[in-house]
Amino acid sequence: MQSIAAAVFAGLCLPIFTRTDAQQLPADFKGSMRAGFASSSRHLDAEQNLFTASLWLRGDATAESLAVHVDAWQQFGARETSDATRTLREAYVTWRPAHFDLRVGKQIISWGRADKLNPTDNLSPKDLTLVTPDDDDQRLGTLAAQATLFVANYSLAAIWLPQFRPSVVPLPVPSGIPIKQMPANERGHWAVKLERSDASIDWSLSYLDGRDLSPDISASAAGEAEPTVSASNCMNWRKRPGPGFSLR
């Protein structure tokens, strides 16, 4: 649903960039084909010796203070390599007047400085079942509105996410035990970040009012209606309001 909404949004915004002079619309479109081999899947199952191939497309168009960005991929080969064979990762419009950015649409928001274990990278989900040598390829976009104010070496960003989209995690299902997904947060989330960047030191201070992208798994006793089932696993995305700090 998010991919469809983002594609429609980007399509409605493209007429903004229509010009009679083609030179008024600098555009950059790129594509790449990737292939690889994996000894096993990332579903924690018995799948082995997987060949993967994918087509990646990326496009950017700008006109004065407006810009459009689209990023998508299509996967070919074994269906087991990911929960999705295609995805529209990003499709957003950015308005950039002086010292200010406003970005609206499906976007990947990466906070923090660490490469692997990054506790402040808690806004954009990942598809942890996607077989790829580059962990950044696992990132998924989410619908958001992001406003950033720039003053000297400082920036102040405010983000609103109207929907909650969790990460895709491999979850083996034991035989005879059902999996029930708990309802995620229905209302919007918000986050703010103050960041300083210069040649000597970079730091950021952030705050998120939202849920954890990775679920907790709990077990509860089965009711009398299910006498053959000993437990019912529930996935719950915890409420995770709190500050974050990053330093490099």
With 0-12 / 13-18 / 19 or more C-beta atoms within 10 angstroms meaning exposed / middle / buried, residue 42 is buried
What sign does the dihedral 231-237-239-240 (CA atoms) show?
A: positive
Q: In angstroms, rounded to a whole number, what is the distance separating the alpha carbons of residues 203 and 193?
A: 10
* pLDDT tens digits for range 92-139: 999 999 899 999 999 999 887 766 677 788 888 988 888 877 888 889
User: What's the domain range around 16?
Assistant: 2-247
The per-residue pLDDT for range 68-96, each reduced to its tens digit, is 999 998 887 654 444 457 789 999 999 99
C-beta separation of 172 from 45 below 8 A: yes
Instruction: Encode the chain (248 residues) as per-residue pLDDT tens digits.
Output: 544 454 444 444 544 444 434 445 578 889 988 888 888 877 777 778 888 888 899 999 998 899 999 999 888 765 444 445 778 999 999 999 989 999 999 999 988 776 667 778 888 898 888 887 788 888 999 999 999 999 988 999 999 999 888 888 887 666 666 666 655 545 778 999 999 987 678 888 999 988 888 777 666 555 545 434 344 456 667 776 678 877 77
On whether the CB atoms of residues 215 and 240 are closer than 8 A, the answer is no
Strand (E) or helix (H) holding 8: helix 2-13
When divided into structural domains, the chain yields a total of: 1
Phi, psi of 6 (to 5 degrees): -70, -40
